[in-house]
Structure formats: C-alpha cells, structure tokens
Structure 1
Amino acid sequence: MNKPPDQQQAYKSKPTPASAWWLLSLAICFEIAGAIGLNFGEGFSLLLPTILALAAFAVALYLVSHVMKNLPVSVAYPIWAGGGTAGVALLGVIIFDESMDIFKALGIALVIIGVITINRNSDKKSGC
C-alpha cells in the first residue's frame, strides 16, 4: 500500500532547475510589490499598505530561500536584487511619475545587463 509523501519530506524537497527560475521570477515580483507597497504606506503611516508590503517581502524571502536550494547564492541573490531594483525603478516612473533621466536609464540598463551576464554564466556551468 502506497502512503502519501510525508509533509516534512515535501517541504524539504529541492525545486527542479526550471522551477527554481520560475520561483526566482515570482520572488522578484513579490520583492517589487513589497517596495511599491512601502511607498503607498507613506512611511508606515498607513496600516493596510504597510501590512501588504511586509507580507509581499515575506513571500519574496520564502520563495528565494527555496530557489537557493537549487541555484547558488552567488547567482540567485544578485538576480533577485537586480531584478527587483530595475523593476522598482521602472514602476516608480510609471506609477509615481518619478523622473527618468539618462543616468537613471543607464543605471537600469547596467543592472539588467549584469543580471543577464550572471544568468548566462550560470547556465553554462549548471547546465540549466
């Protein structure tokens, strides 16, 4: 008789390389949502946006912790941080009408180039 997998064992399982990249993408989205939520929270003065922002950050950390079971920290963390940085900068311009000058655009482009470079190097080494 087959028994269902133990919940503890399922929790400890490693994501596959493909699912690790999907989880990392999702973690970046939650990181961006958390940062945008902090801005809506107006310095922790509005309760609901603050709670939602903190929850988004908690989900992002949970997801990236699972990503690091399969991807090295030297790959996962810079991509997570860089993707979040670029996403927040772009959404700041779109949502909050923040300024975009040549230096900000260049900085975002360099972050994206760095993320792509790290990703290409890790793909060759890990076979993902």
Structure 2
Amino acid sequence: MPASPWVLVLIAGLLEVAWALGLKWSDGFTRLLPTTLTILGALASFFLLAQAMKSLPVGTAYAVWTGIGALGTATLGMALFGEPATLMRMAGVALIVSGIIALKLA
C-alpha cells in the first residue's frame, strides 16, 4: 500500500530540516561527508515532495513542506547553534505553525 501523500510531505519536510542543517555543517561544502549527506537529503526531500504533489494541491503541499522546514530549522538552530530564542522569533515560529494548520484544514 503506498504511503499517504501527507506522510510523504511530512517526511520530505523533515528531510528539508536535515539538509538545511547540513548546509551549516558542510562549512560551505568544504567537508565531504556533511556535503554528501546534505545533497542526498535534498534530493530525497524533493523526490518525496514531488510524489506527494501527484495527489495534493501544489500550493498547500509546498507551503506545508516549507513550513515544516522553516519551523524545524529555526527550532534546531536555536537548540544546536545557540541562535537567540527571542520573543519575536518564537512568535514567528508560532505563526508558521498556525499557517501550516490553516492550510491543512483549508
């Protein structure tokens, strides 16, 4: 049985977080292993998103995918790289979550 398109979007979004963090760890594509994993993660993320878009509206699927990526990357950037967790950043994260929920319900 094929995976649900929304499960594919979720996995693709999580892979987006992984490759976005990989961009940081690759040190400008100067470190081989993080660079390789980043490229593979990006390709897998795009592939899964493309599969999900076979049956989901492109605008909604893309917005949810980028929302998961932005939310995860911002959160892990604060946790892993010591980026500031200001009130404005946290409000932005909350708005992203609200937007994802609204698009999924629409």
How far apart, in 2, do the equivalents of 1:62 and 1:77 lie? 13
Q: Distance in 2 between matches of 1:108 and 1:53?
A: 24
Pick aligned residue for 2:24 from 33, 39, 42: 39
Kindly report which structure 2 residues correspond to 1:1-128, keeping only aligned pairs within 5 A, or say none. Answer: 19-121=4-106
Larger Rg: 1
The 2-side partners of 1:74 and 1:86 are apart by 18
Instruction: Count residues with an aligned counterpart.
Output: 105
AA aligned to 1:97 is G
Q: CA deviation at 1:85?
A: 0.3
The list of structure 1 runs, each at least 4 consecutive aligned residues, that deviate by more than 6 angstroms after superposition, is none
Counterpart residue identity of residue 98, structure 2: I
Q: CA deviation at 1:115?
A: 0.6
- Structure ranking higher on relative contact order (CA contacts 8 Å, 6+ apart): 2
**What is the TM-score of this pair, normalised by structure 1?**
0.79
User: Aligned partners of 1:72, 1:42: CA distance in 2, in Å?
Assistant: 35
Give TM-score, length-normalised by structure 2: 0.95
Gaps of 5+ in 2: none
Q: Matches of 1:66 and 1:115 in 2, distance apart?
A: 19
Aligned counterparts of 2:46 and 2:20: Cα–Cα separation in 1: 13
